């Protein structure tokens, strides 16, 4: 391992470490613009110049490997003059519009110009002007500010897998643009805003709405998919102003999907801020909490225990689902379910988790995708897969529809018959799986939500066992969920027993008049028209499908408005934090259920959130361990029987509108208008890494 001296400090680094990384290890500050530790090295900006003894001139430390015996100076007179010169060149054409720039207060160029630049500029010629580009409804461009660091270009090509951007022209005339004018059709496009160091790329929905120093930062997690990405919520007064990714190497690294980043405007639209009760004329009228609870109590007096059902929606938190289960049990009903999509998931924990963990994708050496389109269902997961594919030695097979997943794969067929062939060891991809040490599969909800979902689950298990995907130190069997509430609900046992009805059964029974009352905890994805004359109680935060059908509406809190527990697809226990208060009379969901239970004469045995969590931990002890993943025991699961010939279909037709919050978002509506159609079924044309 090379040993070098940085500013008089001798350090030893790993082979392949750059001089810049060595300087960071020695706690020496080296400015940079183009360098990013998750992108390839470009060496464009030259801001990271350092002096190396015996070198005729300063070197770009980001591109120079650290060598044994190097003596590096990061703050010599030569370095200071070189940095001043580079900064002066970068500012030659940069407009002096800091007071109106949305990057103000968070701008690397501002900070580094103050720390390493000249106090007076010498350039007094005309500045060039670059026309702004139309990147779509999410990214605002002021291209005259661009310093050509190419972070956005490298991100779109390397991470997002959509090589849409590049440099046009040469020298002083260079500009970042499309080859052909079009929007950035990528589910990860918003990340280039974070990467841009100078304000050339900013958030179009956030433009001119707030300054960074006005905002409160709250660390939380995203609930618009099942990944559980770590986020930073920036709020002012009672409003969420923006959502940014927060570093979490185990989950989302430093990236965030566009829906999770930009759908926050939906938090203020179509909100339920007070209880409502439907009158005799069929009109929903505002009511007090007491009136709403009294209406429910009167109706429930006429309902048998077996004629009551409860469905937990995709955004429900664990505390609310636990309270709902307690209330349903006290009523005496076996009819409860958390699987709105009808997925045939087994009670065995290993059968519904992403067992390899998201970070474990980078340890696998082969992947089988079954009935899933991770690009639309979980862009952050798809980015992990692409990252592993780019590293080489990673073969991917797909059973399902062909689409541009941003990486090359072998298409094995659209139908379940391809699983039968794999189970028998037929085909080239079966040979690939047999030759690998850590193969994995990802089973999508689109495959499990079919009538034969139990049989498909069984075949996926058989494939995992046949090709050694499950061993003492590795479990490559994974389910890719699309709902934040799903794993938490399954962990808490929100499933019907042998005498109870699942979601499809409850909907059918309600339509036939056999189910008289139905409690929807944020459940908006079922067929409301099929519920017949059933008495529907809807508890949620948006006036979506469930609220429109409801006879009584109880306003709840969104994920940014409560301290709540979620469990992501890995089984990782996480917490949201209250960033703003719920609007109007809306309350945290568990407290609404607790208050309702008292009116029904079935008072739940907890008065505080802490007391509820203590009881919840008794049921599910692993939920105590925030941020941890509890391993699951492997044994047989699934159902025997034939599978249908129908082709697999992804459950996500439009990535930008999958839940009540995103459907209420004007920004997501604009994205749907621009990019709502599924990506073209074309494989990427880039060269596969060796």
What local confidence, expressed as pLDDT, does residue 111 receive?
Answer: 93
Cα(441)–Cα(453) distance, integer angstroms: 16
CB of 317 within 8 A of CB of 562? Answer: yes
Cβ count within 10 A of residue 95: 14
Which are the contacts of 83, defined by CB distance < 8 A and separation ≥ 6?
31, 47, 49, 116, 117
What confidence tens digit (pLDDT) does each residue in 345-379 have? 989 999 999 999 999 999 999 999 999 999 999 99
**503-523 residues labelled b (16+ CB within 10 A) or e (exposed):** bebbbbbbbeeebbbbbbbbb
Which DSSP helix (H) or strand (E) runs through 285? Answer: strand 284-286
Length of the chain: 690
Which are the contacts of 170, defined by CB distance < 8 A and separation ≥ 6?
none
Cα(325)–Cα(333) distance, integer angstroms: 10
Residue with tokens 């005496």: 332
DSSP letters spanning 621-663: GGGGSTT-B--------S--S----PPP--S-S-TT-SSHHHH
Beta partners for residue 310, in sequence order:
336, 519
What local confidence, expressed as pLDDT, does residue 569 receive?
Answer: 97
Tokens describing residue 191: 């990340």
Cα(126)–Cα(103) distance, integer angstroms: 24
CB of 239 within 8 A of CB of 581? Answer: no
Q: What parts of the chain have a pLDDT lower than 70?
A: 180-182, 676-690
What local confidence, expressed as pLDDT, does residue 677 receive?
Answer: 53
Cα(548)–Cα(550) distance, integer angstroms: 6
Cα(563)–Cα(244) distance, integer angstroms: 19
CB of 182 within 8 A of CB of 236? Answer: no
């Amino acid at each position: 391992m090379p040993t070098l001296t940085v500013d008089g400090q001798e350090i030893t680094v790993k082979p392949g470490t750059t001089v810049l990384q060595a300087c960071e290890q020695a706690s020496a500050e080296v400015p940079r613009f183009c360098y990013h530790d998750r992108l390839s090295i470009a060496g464009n900006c030259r801001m990271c110049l350092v002096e190396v003894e015996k070198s005729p001139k300063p070197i770009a430390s980001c591109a120079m490997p650290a060598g044994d015996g190097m003596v590096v100076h990061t703050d010599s007179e030569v370095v200071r003059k070189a940095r001043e010169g580079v900064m002066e060149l970068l500012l030659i054409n940069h407009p002096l519009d800091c007071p109106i720039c949305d990057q103000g207060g968070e701008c690397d160029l501002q900070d580094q110009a103050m720390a390493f630049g000249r106090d007076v500029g010498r350039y007094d010629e005309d500045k060039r002007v670059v026309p702004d580009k139309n990147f779509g409804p999410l990214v605002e461009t002021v291209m005259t500010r661009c310093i050509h660091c190419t972070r956005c270009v490298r991100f779109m090509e390397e991470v997002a897998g959509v090589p849409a951007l590049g440099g046009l022209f040469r020298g002083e005339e260079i500009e970042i643009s499309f080859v052909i004018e079009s929007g950035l059709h990528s589910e990860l496009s918003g990340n280039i805003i974070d990467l841009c160091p100078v304000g050339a790329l900013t958030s179009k929905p956030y433009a001119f709405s707030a300054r960074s120093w006005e905002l409160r930062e709250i660390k939380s997690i995203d609930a618009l998919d099942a990944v559980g990405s770590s986020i930073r919520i920036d709020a002012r007064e009672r409003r969420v102003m923006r959502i940014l990714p927060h570093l979490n190497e185990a989950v989302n690294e430093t990236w965030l999907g566009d829906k999770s980043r930009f759908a926050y405007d939906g938090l203020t639209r179509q909100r339920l801020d007070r209880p409502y009760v439907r009158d005799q004329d069929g009109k929903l009228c505002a009511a007090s909490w007491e009136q709403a609870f009294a209406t429910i109590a009167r109706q429930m007096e006429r309902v048998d225990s077996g004629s009551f059902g409860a469905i937990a929606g995709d955004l429900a938190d664990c505390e609310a689902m636990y309270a709902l289960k307690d209330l349903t049990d006290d009523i005496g009903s076996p009819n409860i379910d958390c699987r709105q999509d009808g997925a045939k998931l087994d009670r065995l924990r290993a059968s519904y988790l992403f067992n390899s963990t998201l970070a474990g994708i980078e340890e696998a050496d082969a992947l089988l995708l079954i009935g899933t389109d991770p690009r639309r269902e979980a862009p952050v997961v798809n980015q992990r897969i692409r990252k592993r594919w780019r590293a080489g030695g990673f073969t991917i097979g797909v059973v399902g529809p062909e689409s541009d997943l941003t990486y090359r794969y072998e298409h094995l067929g659209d139908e379940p018959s391809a699983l039968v062939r794999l189970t028998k060891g037929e085909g080239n991809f079966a040979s690939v799986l047999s030759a690998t040490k850590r193969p994995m599969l990802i089973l999508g909800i689109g495959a499990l939500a079919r009538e034969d979902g139990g049989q498909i689950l069984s075949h996926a298990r058989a494939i995992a066992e046949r090709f050694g995907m499950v061993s003492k130190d590795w479990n490559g069997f994974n389910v890719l969920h699309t709902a934040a509430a799903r794993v938490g609900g399954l962990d808490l046992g929100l499933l019907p027993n042998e005498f109870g009805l699942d979601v499809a059964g409850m909907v059918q029974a309600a339509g036939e008049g056999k189910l008289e009352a139905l409690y929807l905890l944020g459940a908006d994805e079922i067929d409301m028209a099929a519920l017949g004359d059933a008495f529907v109680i809807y508890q949620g935060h948006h006036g979506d499908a469930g609220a429109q059908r409801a006879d009584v509406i109880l306003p709840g809190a969104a994920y940014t408005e409560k301290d709540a527990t979620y469990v992501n697809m890995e089984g990782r226990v996480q917490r949201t934090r209250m960033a703003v208060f719920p609007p109007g009379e809306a309350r945290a969901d568990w407290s609404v259920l607790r208050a309702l239970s008292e009116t029904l004469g079935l008072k739940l045995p907890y008065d505080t959130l802490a007391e509820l969590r203590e009881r919840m931990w008794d049921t599910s002890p692993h939920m105590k361990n925030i941020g941890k993943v509890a391993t699951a025991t492997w044994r047989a699961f699934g159902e025997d029987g034939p599978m249908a010939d129908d082709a697999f279909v992804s459950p996500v037709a439009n990535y930008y509108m999958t839940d009540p919050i995103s459907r209420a978002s004007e920004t997501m509506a604009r994205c749907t208008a621009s990019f709502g159609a599924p990506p073209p079924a074309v494989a990427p044309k880039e060269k596969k890494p060796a």
